[in-house]
Structure 1
Amino acid sequence: MRDLELPGRSPVHAKNGMAATSHTLSTQTAIDVLKAGGNALDAAIAACAVQCVVEPGSTGIGGDNFCLFAPEGGNKVIGYNGSGRAPAAATLEKLRSLGLSELERTSAHSVIVPGAVDAWCRLNADHGRIPMAELLTPAIDHARNGYPVSSRVHTDWVGNAEIIRSDENCARIFLPDGKVPAVGQLHHQKGLADALEIIGREGRDAFYKGELAQEMVATLQAKGGLHTLDDFASAKGEYVTPVTSTFRDLTIHECPPNGQGVIALLLMNMFERAPEGSLISAERIHFEIEACRRAYAARGLTLADPAQADVPVSGLIDKAFAAELVASIDPAKMVEPDNSILMPRHKDTVYISVVDKDRNACSFINTLFWGWGGGITTPKHGIVLTNRGQGFVLEEGHPNCIAPGKRPLHTIIPAIVTKEGRTVMSVGVMGGEYQAMGQAQFISRYIDFGMDIQEAQDAPRWMVDPFDGEVEIEGPVPDAIVEQLRGMGHSIARSTRPVGGSQAIAIDWETGVLTGGSDPRKDGCAMGY
């Protein structure tokens, strides 16, 4: 329990239903849906649609989605991969012929066919209780009649102003009067309201075959994109079997690749072998940094779309592989991992957590990848398109090399935690590359350090940049510890913005009480009834 004389949040407790999101309007929408008879999945979809409006840089209907759903709180977890694919013409040879050596953020070639709307519609049709048109109504209202810009959203808006300016449609919508809206200022997205109404009325085909698809394809082709109407018409996600591993006496369920859930499991397997002692110590932080360095290096070598590459999932989550990586960590100094041990030897985003009165649990995540994607936005309906194609590499022979119809490496990873045959938590972390590390840090703080569900999210964070190796570390870590880490060989940079975000809801089956928390680094909250 936190010190009540210090600033902070207490966990939220309720007995009927609960939602935790990164925006208060989204959380309120989810609770309204639950009270109206919707289940956890309905509430998550409605809440996400609202966030596509009120957190326009973090997510949108032009992005991707992953979902884990545990009916009645059991351990038979349903997974859905709603990530999009590269266009059929996107061959390495074609991109090279266009002079490309990398996929730039603002390029149309970084846009994959969005998968979120397909996921929402399929999940709602198969498992929901309330029609999609009703679920989209709150989002339509906020888009058409205006919503107040919240503090963290404003900060992200300012940080992405140049990307917004890079596209005339994006700038027209998101820089009214040529500037970022102020905190508390009402902002409107009337074109997006119309798009959501069309989807609610006509279903997923309106997005993938109708007027909206035509507008997205025309926008992309005008910027040199290889996308066609056939690419959109053939788009679809798929149900997937979650991949699992244990942490202490818990079973952690993740979506399988092309997402990085397996890397979260690998990190948890490594954290099981962490040295005992204080969390805020040079020894512990050094261990987590070195574990992160190895897990993400393994990710870079192996993770890809399993439909088009051989991804060694069982090897990555093998406890013996984690033990081997831990054994390579020098407790006194940073050591770059040897690539020979990183291959197993055998065989910006919104996250939403909802649990309803029947204990259906939904772990739901939706993204544009970077803030406002790459900026590319359709002119009439204001659909901001994902730049998730930047997850590909342009390296022949690499498992994650771009190819027609291929899904890129994905960072977004919802999680469900079970114990003794029952769901005991729905949890997720936002923050791009950080998400796998963030899940491992949260679970370890919650279990090994005895923090409550809110404290485990409040605690300071650190993360290795998987590309340049620099360690980002949040301000609450004392300077003396930072200097110790530098003495161990780490390149440390104090974070200039909060590291990630998170939400979680725990189920106590003995008392019937739900307990939730929401990351203070975002604008949201957990609420129950």
Structure 2
Amino acid sequence: MNRSLLTLSFCFTFLLLSAQDRITGKPFATRSEVIARHGMAATSHPLATQVALEIMKGGGNAIDAAIAANATLGLVEPTGNGIGGDLFAIVWDAKTKQLYGLNASGRSPQSLTLDYFKDKGYTSIPPHGPLPVSVPGCVDGWLELHGKFGSLPMQEVLQPAIDYATEGFPVTELVAWYMDRSAPILSKFPGFAETYMPNGHTPRKGEIFKNPGLANTLSQIAAKGRAGFYEGPIAATIAKYMLENGGFLTMDDLKNHHSEWVEPVSTNYRGYDIWELPPNGQGIAALQMLNILEAYDIAAMGFDSPEYWHLLVEAKKLAFEDRAKFYADPAFNEIPVDWLISKAYADERRPLINPDRAGRSYEPGQLKDGDTIYLTVADEEGNMVSLIQSNYRGMGSGMTPPGLGFILQDRGELFTLEEGHFNTYEPGKRPFHTIIPAFITKDGEPYVSFGLMGGAMQPQGHVQIVVNLIDFGMGLQEAGDAPRINHGGSSQPTGEEMTDGGYLQMESGFDYEIIRALMYKGHQIQYALGPYGGYQAIMYKDGVYYGASESRKDGQAAGW
């Protein structure tokens, strides 16, 4: 190569590298946080974020705005949520200065038994079709939240979603891609194509999509409240559809459903209280992991340290063995949550970690006596909501009752058919749940409302966010944009145990020296696109809100 070409090549390479570098020299791309005084919303879709802001500017509070945003997300992002699914929330109430937890997950049909699965030769509950369908808890969750904390009439709260469903909206790139992937699997179920493939295909990027059936369903909920969904014509349509298509969900199952207000649980991590909801969700796995990690000087190790990532993965393995065995519906089991999230229990489990070698298997501890959307909203009065909602497996079971505009969830797949397990299928039981909201307080005051989507990635992601914020001093946006790991292939809630150490997926942005060091410690490394979750967060500091929404999704943080 002659000198001029060599110089040109060098300059071009320098420009490329310069364009990729951040001003602060980090090896991953991020952007500034959104900062505002009066209110903040961070959701996985810009239209939903704007709806939340409109509700608050129109006199509503953070709870009204969160419900409005969730209703909009069920329309514009049906690949992750909808009113056929379940909901969990943590609310900081500015008046009482305390946290409230809501478990709005649905129960299995009363007429479906474990014997049915055994007689039919099932070894696990199928992921799609009528059998994994459980009662959709989302709508009851909205009404519980609204009844306790809401300020605007429900008609005003749901009107933006009704308008978008009636008038249509342009589908975003990521949602269009996921819908296209779902269609070959779900279009065989009655009602799916009529609702989501009106032109013979799922809507493409930028195409206007309308959902008049959902507009009508939301209008019924706005006008009649709980009875508009769990009783009357909508409930009858669901029950009739299920009966005609081999399902078991009945009008009585819907009518008898109720959400449950629960006490959030916490652990203190280096002076910050990290809050999760108790089982049937998996939130306490994050607390167990943090308790194990707290004994190590993570800050001194640094984000780019293979020692830190090794400890994180091993702590995850320990927590997930307990998750696989013990996390289930507390109405059917005695689950010693206080012991599982105690420092003493972490002290017992921590010595099992070999700092130089990846564990291939761990036993669950000895106890003494599941694509998703996440959103968070904060208002001028200081109320903050951390809300997560999902159908499971993206769009859900595929079961789409005619004319209603939504798909029923397939959360029942997460039951096990193994007799004697905490999470064994039983009628009227809530399955193990993957979706978890989170919250951080400092000295009894709200600090960060956050969450991260993505099945078993969620507690792992919660821990990585907390460590990024507290140990590594990252900003709110930076903490979400930093590359993540996802350990998988082991410790499933259906009773499957880890026998080979599982596999470690590492996002782009990690230096190869870290990857090589982890391989040397015995970790099996996989490269994968996508299984790293989707993060939103709001921080409250010195009277100002900071908002963050990561670039892995279509989301937006915005305030005023």
TM-aligned CA deviation for residue 432 of structure 1: 1.3
1:283 aligns with: 307
2:416 aligns with: 393
1:493 aligns with: 526
CA distance in 2, matches of 1:478, 1:514: 33
Q: Is the 8 A contact 1:74 1:422 kept in 2?
A: no
Of the three residues 500, 506, 515, the one matched with 1:482 is 515
Task: Please state if 1:118 is matched with 2:149.
Answer: no
Counterpart of 1:203 in structure 2: which amino acid? G
Of all paired residues, the percent bearing the same amino acid is 40
2:553 aligns with: 522
What does residue range 364-443 of structure 1 map to in structure 2 within 5 Å?
Answer: 364-443=387-466
CA distance in 2, matches of 1:439, 1:34: 28
Number of corresponding residues: 525
Counterpart of 1:224 in structure 2: which amino acid? G
2:538 aligns with: 505
2:19 aligns with: none
Counterpart of 1:491 in structure 2: which amino acid? Q
1:79 aligns with: 101
CA distance in 2, matches of 1:412, 1:324: 28
Task: Please state if 1:55 is matched with 2:86.
Answer: no
CA distance in 2, matches of 1:189, 1:371: 18
1:215-258 residue CA offsets vs partner (Å, 9 max, x unmatched): 11122222211221111110111111111111111112211111
Moved more, 426-435 or 453-462: 426-435
Counterpart of 1:53 in structure 2: which amino acid? L
Of the three residues 181, 188, 207, the one matched with 1:185 is 207
Task: Please state if 1:241 is matched with 2:263.
Answer: yes
TM-aligned CA deviation for residue 206 of structure 1: 1.5
**Structure having the higher Rg:** 2
Q: Which runs of 5+ in 1 are unaligned?
A: none
Task: Please state if 1:459 is matched with 2:482.
Answer: yes
TM-aligned CA deviation for residue 135 of structure 1: 0.8
CA distance in 2, matches of 1:520, 1:344: 41
Q: Is the 8 A contact 2:29 2:481 kept in 1?
A: no
Task: Please state if 1:320 is matched with 2:325.
Answer: no
Moved more, 203-212 or 468-477: 468-477
Tell me the TM-score normalized by structure 2. Answer: 0.90
Task: Please state if 1:214 is matched with 2:236.
Answer: yes
1:22-80 residue CA offsets vs partner (Å, 9 max, x unmatched): 11001101111111111111000000000000001100000001111111176521111
Counterpart of 2:334 in structure 1: which amino acid? D
Counterpart of 1:501 in structure 2: which amino acid? G
CA distance in 2, matches of 1:378, 1:106: 14
Counterpart of 1:421 in structure 2: which amino acid? G
CA distance in 2, matches of 1:337, 1:125: 47
Tell me the TM-score normalized by structure 1. Answer: 0.96
Q: Is the 8 A contact 1:163 1:372 kept in 2?
A: no
Q: Which runs of 5+ in 2 are unaligned?
A: 1-21, 493-497
2:469 aligns with: 446
CA distance in 2, matches of 1:10, 1:32: 23
TM-aligned CA deviation for residue 338 of structure 1: 2.8
CA-atom RMSD in angstroms: 1.8
CA distance in 2, matches of 1:290, 1:178: 48
TM-aligned CA deviation for residue 260 of structure 1: 1.0
Q: Is the 8 A contact 2:203 2:209 kept in 1?
A: yes
Q: Is the 8 A contact 2:114 2:425 kept in 1?
A: yes
CA distance in 2, matches of 1:448, 1:30: 32
TM-aligned CA deviation for residue 281 of structure 1: 2.8
2:66 aligns with: 44
CA distance in 2, matches of 1:152, 1:112: 27
1:136 aligns with: 158
CA distance in 1, matches of 2:349, 2:440: 24
